[in-house]
Amino acid sequence: MTMMVHETDAAVPAGWTAVCALADLEVERGRAALLGDDQIALFVTHAGRVHAVQNLDPYSGAHVISRGIVGTRGEVPTVASPMYKQVFDLRTGVCLETQGKDAKTLRVWPAAVEGGIVYVREEQR
């Protein structure tokens, strides 16, 4: 998706929030950010794709997903919780490896990059 944000007119499309510079993110290293009242975890993959998911680990209740281990399952970009090692799909939030627990998901936000800035779309729950 192209954001259509121009440097001469710093207008941001409605519903999108500038979160950080792409340069603030390291490949396969998470960063936590606030989006309104929500703590989100941002990840950039080797392919350059940015993902935004909730930072709250649904299994432990701790805000630690941004400190998770990034990897893949086939072509699926993933993050493993640093607490109990559940593995989540960064695109959908679906838990791929529940470690014997009930299936839970991470909330996911659309993310885009334009002009070196990472934008996340705020959506109603």
- Could you report the per-residue pLDDT of 27-64, keeping only the tens digit for each? 999 999 999 999 999 999 999 999 999 999 999 999 99
Q: What is the value of pTM for the model shown? A: 0.88
CATH homologous superfamily of 25-121 equals: Rieske [2Fe-2S] iron-sulphur domain (2.102.10.10)
pLDDT category at 125 given cuts 50, 70, 90 is low
For residues 72 and 120, the answer to whether their CB atoms sit within 8 Å is no
Burial tier of 55 (Cβ tally within 10 Å: 0-12, 13-18, 19+)? buried
What is the distance between the alpha carbons of residues 57 and 86, in angstroms, rounded to a whole number? Answer: 9
Domain boundaries, the chain: 25-121
What confidence tens digit (pLDDT) does each residue in 84-115 have? 999 999 999 999 999 999 999 999 999 999 99
User: Residue 9: how many CB atoms within 10 A of its CB?
Assistant: 6
DSSP letter assigned to residue 27: B
The pLDDT of residue 123 is 76
Query: Which of 40, 41, 45, 52 minimizes the C-alpha distance to 26?
Result: 45
DSSP letter assigned to residue 3: -
pLDDT category at 10 given cuts 50, 70, 90 is low
User: Residue 29: how many CB atoms within 10 A of its CB?
Assistant: 13
Query: Residue 63 corresponds to which tokens in the numbers above?
Result: 């805000």
